[in-house]
Amino acid sequence: MWNAIWVFFHKWASPRYFYRLSGAVIPWLWALTLLLLLGGLYLGLFVAPPDYQQGQSYRIIFVHVPSAWMSLFIYTFMAVLSGIYLIWNIKLADVMVRSSAMLGASFTFLALATGSLWGKPMWGAWWVWDARLTSELILLFLYLGYLALVNAIEDTRTAAKAGGVLILVGVVNIPIIHYSVEWWNTLHQGATVTKLDKPSIHVSMLIPLLLMAGAFQLYYFSLVLMRARVELLDRERRSEWVREMMGRDSEA
């Protein structure tokens, strides 16, 4: 069993195999993304009832919460891939990290921006130095710091190693973000969906929230695979498999 998993892992790590398989998967990912997005928006905007305290303004959670989840997920995913690259020197892992960074920064910025829009009517201020908000802002700086670092180093391998170390050092911020509402006296709302007993959110609101979270997740994988394919072609442009593929495309 483990041998089969290891073979599958190395097969996926092959640039030629990854490029071919990701090209076949991407259209299905986009189709599922659109399906979940339309379902989540319809249920969230037109079916879910107004909140008894926040009224209609709570509906921003259908964008804010999935964006916040994705900001944490992508950075954790990048940390795992960085570890894989630093240990096994698998080129595709670094390609995926680079392709993910801008998307992670975008989701983090969207989470902060929508949080400010929600915070103004709820807290009376666009921004407060709340533990959750501050640690999320640090996460944005980590994404931007990684992008600045790898783009400042010309050698791809050196940039990948330096960026990987930065990502792994910064991963300590992820549990801080997650548990900040429990560790400190914070204005930010506590967990409502990921509680161990049961979610404290009505099912009419929970379903569209989960649909939107799924749509955001699939949107990320759709885009990151597309970006990774472009990055891979640029790095492998002198390799035999790219020349063969370009030759077949020109003949067709």
Domain range for 194 is 28-48+58-247
Q: Is the pLDDT score of 193 beyond 50? A: yes
d(CA 138, CA 146): 12
Q: What is the mean pLDDT of the chain?
A: 87
232 within some domain: yes
The answer to whether 74 and 97 are in contact (CB under 8 A) is no
Q: What is the pLDDT of residue 195?
A: 47
Is there a domain that residue 11 lies in? no
- Asked whether residue 9 is domain-assigned, the answer is no
Between residues 168 and 194, the one the model is more confident about: 168
Would the pLDDT of 8 be above 60? no
Q: pLDDT tens digits for 196-244?
A: 455 568 889 999 999 999 999 999 999 999 999 999 999 888 888 778 7
pLDDT for position 221:
98
The answer to whether the CB of 82 falls within 8 A of the CB of 168 is yes
Confidence (pLDDT) at 74: 98
Q: Is residue 41 domain-resident? A: yes
pLDDT at 4: 58
Q: Is residue 234 part of a domain?
A: yes
Give the residue among 172, 187, 19 at the shortest CA–CA distance from 91: 19
For residue range 27-65, what is the model confidence (pLDDT) as tens digits? 999 999 999 999 999 999 999 998 777 778 789 999 999
- The identity of residue 58, as a single letter, is Y
Domain count, the chain: 1
pLDDT of residue 196: 42
Q: For residue 1, tell me if it sits in a domain.
A: no
pLDDT in tens, 90-133: 999 999 999 999 999 999 999 999 988 887 777 777 888 888 88
Determine, yes or no, domain membership for 180. yes
214 found inside a domain = yes
| CB 119 within 8 Å of CB 126 | yes
Rounded Cα gap, residues 81 and 98, in angstroms: 10
